[in-house]
Structure 1
Amino acid sequence: MRLRVASTILLGLVCAISSTGVAARASDGDCDFTGWQSYCDVSNSGDQVDIGAGLTDPGSTSTDPSPDPGSGQISPDPPTSLPVVPTVPEDCPLNRCDLPYDVVTPPDVTLADLVSFRPARPSLEGEPAGFGVVGMPANIVAAASEQRIAGTLLGWDVTVRFVPAAFVFEYGDGGSIRSATGGTSWQRLGQAQFTPTATSHVYLARGTYPVAVTVQYSASVDFGSGNWRPVAGYVTSTTGGYDVRVVEVRTALVDETCAENPSGPGC
């Protein structure tokens, strides 16, 4: 029973010294709480208790000497200075105000600047090939496709894109139309010959008529960012040289064909 009482008294003494000794020593300036790491060494005047206490935080400095290898304490790593990260304003271009640079934007482009970039000419044909019949539709067909041309523009590397926007047909007799399509053949349309199409034309007199088509291309430019910037207006490309010979057709009841009688009516 006497041993248990002595032990209880000693334990109480240790707790009292642990709780009050640190505060007392801290008030005397023996404890360093100014950095990331603080260390206190509390001693009793008697020979009952010696207490060492430490508080360790990462990256702190300490003036405490290295602990005894046998004490079981782990010495903290030496402090490492952290880099100062600048605060970047929200309105900073590209969010890199910490770097000195000049922001250069591509120039505005007009049709006049694209004079050296020319799309290919459209194709032009008709049916029946090369001729037509007075008073009956002749089918005129043109074709053009999207084109991309790389080069240098105003000192910048650029890609120019041309997209067909409209087809303007000139039929050679004063007639013309503007169509969103270049037209297609009677066969692909599933139509009979000499029937109207979106790009057909009816000639009212015999003769040979020069036909032409002009494609209006919408232009846009890309300076390497993947962003296509439209250019106001149209770039045009024209194809001509297709002549339509228009003839009259008369129906007559004859006894012989033209092969049998080349001088017969209608031959």
Structure 2
Amino acid sequence: MTLLTYAVTVKVTPVRFHWDFGDDAGKTTSVKGEKPLPGDRPQIGHEYQKSGAVSVSMTATFSGEFSVDGGPWLPIDGFAHVASNEIDIDVYRYHRYLVDEDCYANPRGPDCA
């Protein structure tokens, strides 16, 4: 952008991400996370303690720098916090069983319903 005839360039960098899992639990990370490959553990995870509907959101915190007319990068005081849209999810299972039964043979067995 141009400010008083000077070219001003602004650079923003994400520095942390705060995850709100919708059940009074949260987590702050320095990575945004990404879709895991099959068999991999996710970078960001959460274990719910009960089933039900929850709204999940994330707030990214950015730091900034600016340069005037190609000069040195100077820090911008403070941070910008940008909230995501909430995503509504239904937690329908929050535990796992290790079973030695086949759910086809016993559809009422643990973790089969």
What is the deviation of 1:166? 0.8
Give the Cα–Cα distance (whole angstroms) in 2 for the partners of residues 212 and 255 of structure 1: 35
The equivalent residue for 1:231 is 76
Give the Cα–Cα distance (whole angstroms) in 1 for the partners of residues 17 and 90 of structure 2: 22
| Structure 2 residues not aligned, in runs of 5+ | none
| Structure 1 residues not aligned, in runs of 5+ | 1-150, 258-263
Match of 2:91 among 231, 246, 258: 246
Tell me the C-alpha RMSD between the 2 structures: 2.8
Give the Cα–Cα distance (whole angstroms) in 2 for the partners of residues 186 and 231 of structure 1: 34
What is the deviation of 1:225? 2.6
Larger radius of gyration: 1
TM-score (norm 2): 0.74
TM-score (norm 1): 0.35
Structure 2 residue matching 1:201: 3-state secondary structure: coil
What is the deviation of 1:221? 0.9
Q: Which has the higher contact order (CA 8 A, sep 6+)?
A: 2
Cα 1:204–1:226, aligned 2, differ >3 Å: closer, same or farther?
Answer: same
Give the Cα–Cα distance (whole angstroms) in 1 for the partners of residues 81 and 69 of structure 2: 25
The equivalent residue for 1:172 is 22
Is the 8 Å Cα contact of residues 36 and 43 (structure 2) preserved in structure 1?
no
Is the 8 Å Cα contact of residues 208 and 246 (structure 1) preserved in structure 2?
yes
Give the Cα–Cα distance (whole angstroms) in 1 for the partners of residues 68 and 103 of structure 2: 73
Cα 1:225–1:206, aligned 2, differ >3 Å: closer, same or farther?
Answer: same
Give the Cα–Cα distance (whole angstroms) in 2 for the partners of residues 171 and 206 of structure 1: 13
Aligned residues: 106
